[in-house]
Amino acid sequence: MHLISYLKDGEPGYGLLNGDAITDLGSRLADCPDLKSLLAAGVEQAAGVGTPRDFGLADVHLLPPIPNPGAIWCAGMNTHSHFEEAKDRMGLEEEPKVPMFFLRAAGTLVPSGEDLEKPLKEPAFDYEGEIALVIGRPCRNVSEEDALEYVAGYSCFNDGSARFYQISSGQMTTGKNAWRSGGFGPVLATADSVDLDSMRLECRVNGEVRQVMALDDLIFSFAQLISHISDVYELQPGDVIVTGAAEGVGALRDPALFLAPGDSIEVEVSGVGTLVNGVREQVL
């Protein structure tokens, strides 16, 4: 199933997407007012509704699949290819031995179809196409063997980065939390509808392929990331884990290729869909 969150006539809702047809779940599942609450109650309830067409995709304004995540955990330096392109520039000697994370705020995210906002004083606004997974049930002290059982589904993510703020401060948080700097969507593809063995990501800027990734590029697998976080934090339904970017980010190209107003970024994940965001200057 492909699940979406949206505004319809200014009111928030969520539903099941089939092609361009939407089945409104919020009006049918009274105990689940939003997609996050559906995950907590059991996503299989959506399958029981069937697929009546209530309206079309053109009739709604998309929101991030989970508009109200409790936590957004982002894995840093989590692909072999990104480590290789970064190690000389950053003075790195060996790949990370344990996962490295930073947190993003929900207010930093925009849905597919909306523009990312480049901060006014940021000269080096960058893209990072990534795969996001969404937790479906409470998860604490989970083994790697069992970790994927806690995944509700997968989505596309653009970890838009304000590199000047990231590098000048010596830590990740500011540069990864510019307002409306990251893309998330367009859908949540439920775990049973996705083939992880063939999952592949491609990120394009203005139609040019900049990043390509298969899951064997990950240093720490989805299961390892989930298990590691769950050692110290109880993940909740609707929490998001962003799993890492492959080589090809703008900052590490020669010459560097940063984003500018008017650019378009597409992050496509097989079995999920394509996240599309433009770029504009910060709106005052």
Predicted pLDDT of residue 49: 93
| In contact, 234 and 176? CB cutoff 8 Å | no
Which of 27, 46, 63 is the endpoint of a domain?
A: 63
Same domain, 6 and 113: no
Is a pLDDT exceeding 80 seen at residue 2?
yes
| In contact, 131 and 156? CB cutoff 8 Å | yes
Same domain, 59 and 89: no
Predicted pLDDT of residue 283: 81
> The domain that contains 270 carries what CATH number?
3.90.850.10
Predicted pLDDT of residue 179: 96
Q: Give the integer Cα–Cα distance in Å for 195 and 213.
A: 15
Percent of the chain at pLDDT exceeding 90? 93
Regarding beta strands 72-76 and 100-104, do their DSSP bridges make them parallel or antiparallel, or are they unpaired?
A: antiparallel
| In contact, 211 and 247? CB cutoff 8 Å | yes
Is a pLDDT exceeding 90 seen at residue 90?
no
Prediction pTM value = 0.97
Predicted pLDDT of residue 171: 80
Same domain, 56 and 82: no
Percent of the chain at pLDDT exceeding 70? 100
Predicted pLDDT of residue 87: 86
Q: Average model confidence (pLDDT) for the chain?
A: 96
Predicted pLDDT of residue 167: 87
Is a pLDDT exceeding 80 seen at residue 142?
yes
Mind listing the pLDDT tens digit for each residue in 217-268? 999 999 999 999 999 999 999 999 999 999 999 999 999 999 999 999 999 9
DSSP, residue by residue, the chain = -EEEEEEETTEEEEEEEETTEEEESTTT-TT--SHHHHHHH-THHHHTT-----EEGGGSEEE-SSSS-S-EEEEES-BHHHHHHHHHHHT--S--SS-EEEEE-GGGEE-TTS-EEE-TT-S-EE--EEEEEEE-S-BSS--TTTGGGGEEEEEEEE--EEHHHHHHHTSSTGGG--TT-EEEEEEEEEGGG--GGG-EEEEEETTEEEEEEEGGGBSS-HHHHHHHHHTTS-B-TT-EEE----S--GGGSSS-----TT-EEEEEETTTEEEEEEEEEPP-
186-191 mean pLDDT: 98
Which of 18, 34, 63 is the endpoint of a domain?
A: 63
Residue with tokens 């990043």: 211
Is a pLDDT exceeding 80 seen at residue 170?
no
109-119 mean pLDDT: 98
Q: Give the integer Cα–Cα distance in Å for 123 and 279.
A: 13
Which of 20, 46, 63 is the endpoint of a domain?
A: 63
Q: Give the integer Cα–Cα distance in Å for 251 and 129.
A: 13
Mind listing the pLDDT tens digit for each residue in 23-72? 999 999 999 999 999 999 999 999 899 999 999 999 999 999 999 999 99
Predicted pLDDT of residue 259: 98
Same domain, 145 and 44: no
Same domain, 90 and 30: no
Number of structural domains (the chain) is: 2
Higher pLDDT, 157 or 284: 157
Same domain, 16 and 48: yes
Predicted pLDDT of residue 89: 78
Same domain, 77 and 43: no
Same domain, 179 and 247: yes
Predicted pLDDT of residue 93: 84
Write out the residue range of the structural domain in which residue 259 sits. Answer: 72-281
Predicted pLDDT of residue 45: 92
